[in-house]
Amino acid sequence: MEVRFLRSPLDTMRFATLTLIALASVAVATPAPQAGFPPVEDVLILDFSTRHQPDGAVDSVGLHITAHDADNLYCGLTGEVLLGEKYACGSSKYSFALVKGVYDTWGVRIYHRWGVASGASGYRDVPTYCHAGPLGSTVCTSQGPVSLYIDAVPKDW
């Protein structure tokens, strides 16, 4: 007994038409890439300063950033600053971490949160001039503005 799915040329044409309509509706329903998603974000760091003790403990860090969603935004902390720990820049979507520099005394990582649990970050050593500060501390300040790039590769945090 022979079973034929498409019995006539008209059935074949209907099947082909319905298949094309189904494929076209899938293509239309596919989400488009986000418009305005910055491929690379340039961040300008201004007024960077730190104060640390002879044992290496950092008492304070402060800097201003100008970026895609920030205009001279202050980021800072006074008190015990833990290297590598992420600290919020006010109520913005930016945060920062102070780290030991690769070539300079200090480096900074700037984070930009794009969604609930995703974002991107960029790192840069900050060239500083360090001198004696109050009560045996050392104060380091940037010698001018520095820039870094936040890449567009999303990172899950």
CATH, residue 111? 2.40.350.20
| Residue percentage of the chain with pLDDT more than 70 | 73
Residue 56 falls within a domain, yes or no?
yes
Q: What is the mean pLDDT of residues 117-136?
A: 91
Given a cut of 60, is residue 48 above it in pLDDT? Answer: yes
Nearest CA to 140 among 97, 100, 106, 89? 106
Given a cut of 70, is residue 134 above it in pLDDT? Answer: yes
Residue bearing tokens 């609930």 = 116
Over the stretch 62-97, which tens digit does the pLDDT of each residue have? 999 999 999 999 999 999 999 999 999 999 999 999
Q: What is the mean pLDDT of residues 19-27?
A: 62
pLDDT band at 33 (very low <50, low <70, confident <90, very high): very low
Listed range (11-25, 36-50, 53-67, 98-112) with the worst mean pLDDT: 11-25
Q: In the chain, how many domains are there? A: 1
Residue bearing tokens 């300063």 = 49
User: Which 3 state secondary structure label does DSSP give 3?
Assistant: coil
pTM: 0.71
Residue 147 falls within a domain, yes or no?
yes
Write out the residue range of the structural domain in which residue 57 sits.
40-156
Dihedral of the alpha carbons of 152, 155, 156, 157, in degrees to the nearest 10: -110
The full 3-state SS of 81-126, as one line of letters, equals ECCCCCEECCCCCEEEEEEECCCCCEEEEEEEECCCCEEEEEEEEE
Which one-letter amino acid corresponds to residue 28? V
User: Which 3 state secondary structure label does DSSP give 104?
Assistant: coil
